[in-house]
Amino acid sequence: MWHGLSPATTASFSDEGHNADAERLDRETLDIQRRLLGPEDPDTLNSMSSLAGILYREGHNAEAEKLFRETLDIERGVRGPDNPDTLNSMSNLAEVLSREGHYAEAETLDRATLVIRRRVIGPEHPDTAASTYNLGCIAALRRQRDEALALVREAVDHGLESSVDLGIDKEPDLKSLHGDPRFDALVAHAKEKAAAAQKSK
């Protein structure tokens, strides 16, 4: 899937692979913010999302899922269902659920995210394409090959970021598509599109 997890507030640690240090600092920050600012404060919500992202990267899926759910529940009430941060939390939770093998719930969340993003930011926005791509990954994980190919192609043709285009052949979630000539053609098409985008910059 497209790993669009919210950037950690302790990004320098995370970027260097020091997730344990980042986790410790984010836990301390979150404890203070919950106490002083309250759970609905934007800074508190950002820290919750940040910590959940670190837990996800560390493989602590159950705790990451719990924290993403808590963040999403609050954001829906405070920020509203159409807010970009709320949508990011929906996508993040779907990603954790997919990793845990809860494909049906992950798909439901990603489909809901896609519907809102199409309406709010349009069908050609990279975030909308990311939601489409993520649905394609879930379809591939569920061995729904035709649907997976169609969704990934749609994402490629409607705003998927070049960095994702270039990595489709290495995407673990799409492994079930390997060996299908249609997938090989899609990979070539995505790389051509990414190359053209680079030239136009």
Tens of pLDDT, residue by residue, the chain (201 residues)? 755 554 333 333 344 456 778 888 999 999 999 999 999 999 999 999 999 999 999 999 999 999 999 999 999 999 999 999 999 999 999 999 999 999 999 999 999 999 999 999 999 999 999 999 999 999 999 999 999 999 999 999 999 999 998 999 999 999 999 999 999 999 999 999 999 888 876
Rg (Cα) of the chain, in Å, rounded? 17
Closest CA to 7 of 96, 74, 85: 85
Give pTM, 2 decimals: 0.87
Number of Cβ within a 10 Å radius of residue 13: 19
Q: What pLDDT is stored for residue 15 in this prediction?
A: 46
Cα–Cα distance measured from residue 42 to residue 87, given in angstroms and rounded to the nearest whole number? 15
Q: What are the structural domains, with CATH classification, of the chain?
A: 1-102 (1.25.40.10), 121-201 (no CATH)
Q: What pLDDT is stored for residue 1 in this prediction?
A: 72
Burial class (CB in 10 A: 0-12, 13-18, 19+), 160: buried
